[in-house]
C-alpha cells in the first residue's frame, strides 16, 4: 500500500506536540488573573460586565497596596477593589488582619472598632460625601487574609438609581454575611474609655489584653479586676496628699525591687485645669527591656479601684541608647495613660 509523505509525517508531528506540551514550563502565576471569591464576583453581584476604571485608585487606599483586581461599571459609578493576600507587617505586634482593617477604615474615612483576635472576618458599611462603601476583611480557606471594597456613587437619575440600588443590596448582603459569627464583646467602663482614648489608631482586642500602635510603638494594656489597693487611695482630689503618694511609691518599690522608676507614683492633672474630677494616679518604670505604666482610678464611696497596666517592649539596644529609648517610651506611656484617664473623666464622671 502506498502512503503519501504528508500522511506519514502526521503521527510524528503529533508526537512532537504532545511531548512539547508535557515539558512546557508552567505559565507564571504572576501573569494570571486571580479567581475572584463570591464576594468579589463583579459580574454576578453587579449584574453588569466588568469594565476598566478611568480614574486612578483613591490615594487614601494607597497603604493597602496594589489590588489584585479592580473593576468599574455603571458609568464609573461602581468600583470594586480586591486584595487577594494581605501580607503581615513585620514592624508591629498586630496581625495582618488588624492592620488591614485599620487601613481599610482610614481609606473609606471611617473610624472602626478594634479588630478582634477571635474574628475570621469582619465587614463595614459607610456612607460619606454621596459615596456608599461596603468592605470586608476575611480569612480564606487557604489561610491568607483578603480584602474587598465596593464603592458606589448613586446616579442622579431616579430610575437608574433604583436599578443600581437593587444590585447594591446584593453586594451589601454578600459583604455583611461575614458578621453573623462575630458577636460584639461586652464593654466594661474601662474598655469604653480605652476605645475613646485610642480612636483612629491600629488596635486589637485579644483574649487577655488590648493592643494598639502609637507613635510606632506597640502597647499592650491589661486590666485588673476591681479591688482595693494595698493602701487607701482617695476618690476626691481634695483628699489626695503627698505623704500618701510617697507611701504608695515605697510599696511599689518593694513590689518591684529591680525596677528603674521613670515616673514615681503621681497624681494626674484633669483634662481641663481646675475641673473637679476624681483623683487618678500613675507610675512608670522599666524592668530590663520592658517599660510599664499603671493607672489607678479610685471609685466613689469605697467602690474599689480600677487598675490598668500598659507594657511596651523596647527595641534592641544597649547602654546609653537603651536608656534614651526607655526615657522616650516612658514619655509615651505617660501620655497614653493620661489620655485614658481623661477619657474616663469624659465618659464616667
pTM value? Answer: 0.84
66-79 average pLDDT score: 98
50-75 average pLDDT score: 97
Q: How many CB atoms lie within 10 A of CB 192?
A: 14
Classified as helix, coil or strand, 209 is: coil
Lowest mean pLDDT segment, chosen from 122-136, 158-172, 292-306: 292-306
Residue 121, judged by CB atoms within 10 A of its CB (0-12, 13-18, 19+), counts as: buried
pLDDT at 156: 95
φ, ψ at 316 (rounded to 5°): -60, 125
Q: Are 137 and 94 in contact (CB under 8 A)?
A: no
Q: Which position has the higher pLDDT, 194 or 15?
A: 194
- Split at pLDDT 50, 70, 90, the class of 4 is very low
Beta pairing class for 121-128 and 131-139: antiparallel
What are 28-42's pLDDT values in tens digits? 344 456 678 999 999
254-279 average pLDDT score: 93
CB neighbours of 148 closer than 8 A, spacing ≥ 6?
37, 39, 40, 80, 81, 82, 83, 135, 136, 175
Lowest mean pLDDT segment, chosen from 5-9, 286-290, 339-343: 5-9
- Split at pLDDT 50, 70, 90, the class of 129 is confident
314-322 average pLDDT score: 91
| Gap between the Cα atoms of 102 and 195, Å rounded | 14
DSSP state letters, 78-119: EEEEEES-PPP-TTSSS-HHHHHHHHHHHHHT-PPPPEETT-
pLDDT at 230: 59
The three three-digit cell numbers of residue 248, written as one number: 504608695
Beta pairing class for 78-83 and 69-73: antiparallel
pLDDT at 96: 94
Asked if residue 23 has pLDDT above 50, the reply is no
| Gap between the Cα atoms of 27 and 88, Å rounded | 27
Which strand ranges, in their side-by-side order, compose the sheet holding 210-214?
115-116, 203-205, 210-214, 217-227, 305-313, 290-298, 281-287, 260-267
Asked if residue 192 has pLDDT above 90, the reply is yes
Asked if residue 17 has pLDDT above 50, the reply is no
Query: Residue written as cell 518593694?
Result: 254
Q: 31-36: long-range contacts (C-beta < 8 A, 24 or more apart)?
A: 33/69, 34/68, 34/69, 34/82, 34/84, 36/69, 36/82
pLDDT at 301: 81
What are 270-306's pLDDT values in tens digits? 999 888 899 999 999 999 999 999 999 999 887 789 9
Q: Are 306 and 281 in contact (CB under 8 A)?
A: no
pLDDT at 40: 97
The three three-digit cell numbers of residue 264, written as one number: 514615681
Residue 295, judged by CB atoms within 10 A of its CB (0-12, 13-18, 19+), counts as: buried
232-238 average pLDDT score: 88
- Split at pLDDT 50, 70, 90, the class of 332 is very high
58-71 average pLDDT score: 96
- Split at pLDDT 50, 70, 90, the class of 247 is very high
pLDDT at 13: 39
Q: How many CB atoms lie within 10 A of CB 52?
A: 9
pLDDT at 92: 78
Amino acid at each position: 500500500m502506498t502512503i503519501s509523505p504528508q500522511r506519514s509525517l502526521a503521527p510524528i508531528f503529533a508526537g512532537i506536540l504532545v511531548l512539547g506540551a508535557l515539558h512546557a514550563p508552567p505559565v507564571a502565576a504572576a501573569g494570571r488573573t486571580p479567581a475572584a471569591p463570591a464576594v468579589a464576583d463583579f459580574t454576578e453581584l453587579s449584574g453588569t460586565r466588568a469594565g476598566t476604571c478611568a480614574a486612578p485608585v483613591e490615594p487614601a487606599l494607597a497603604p493597602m497596596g496594589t489590588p489584585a483586581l479592580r473593576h468599574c461599571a455603571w458609568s464609573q459609578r461602581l468600583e470594586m477593589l480586591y486584595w487577594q493576600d494581605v501580607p503581615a507587617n513585620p514592624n508591629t505586634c498586630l496581625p495582618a488582619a488588624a492592620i488591614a482593617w485599620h487601613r481599610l477604615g482610614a481609606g473609606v474615612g471611617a473610624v472602626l472598632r478594634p479588630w478582634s483576635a477571635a474574628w475570621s472576618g469582619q465587614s463595614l458599611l459607610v456612607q460619606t460625601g454621596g459615596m456608599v462603601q461596603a468592605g470586608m476583611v476575611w480569612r480564606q480557606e487557604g489561610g491568607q487574609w483578603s480584602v474587598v471594597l465596593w464603592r458606589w456613587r448613586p446616579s442622579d437619575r431616579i430610575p437608574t438609581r433604583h436599578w443600581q440600588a437593587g444590585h447594591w443590596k446584593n453586594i451589601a448582603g454578600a459583604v455583611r454575611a461575614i458578621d453573623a459569627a462575630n458577636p460584639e464583646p461586652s464593654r466594661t467602663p474601662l474598655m469604653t474609655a480605652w476605645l475613646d482614648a485610642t480612636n483612629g489608631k491600629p488596635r486589637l482586642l485579644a483574649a487577655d489584653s488590648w493592643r494598639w500602635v502609637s507613635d510606632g510603638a506597640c502597647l499592650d494594656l491589661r486590666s485588673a479586676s476591681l479591688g482595693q489597693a494595698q493602701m487607701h487611695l482617695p476618690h476626691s482630689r481634695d483628699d489626695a496628699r503627698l505623704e500618701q503618694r510617697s507611701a504608695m511609691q515605697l510599696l511599689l518599690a518593694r513590689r518591684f525591687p529591680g525596677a528603674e522608676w521613670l515616673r514615681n507614683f503621681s497624681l494626674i492633672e484633669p483634662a481641663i485645669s481646675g475641673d473637679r474630677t476624681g483623683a487618678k494616679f500613675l507610675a512608670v518604670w522599666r524592668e530590663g527591656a520592658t517599660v510599664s505604666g499603671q493607672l489607678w482610678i479610685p471609685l466613689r464611696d469605697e467602690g474599689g479601684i480600677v487598675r490598668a497596666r500598659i507594657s511596651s517592649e523596647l527595641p534592641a539596644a544597649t547602654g546609653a541608647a537603651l536608656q534614651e529609648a526607655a526615657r522616650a517610651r516612658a514619655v509615651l506611656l505617660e501620655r497614653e495613660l493620661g489620655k485614658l484617664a481623661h477619657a474616663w473623666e469624659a465618659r464616667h464622671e
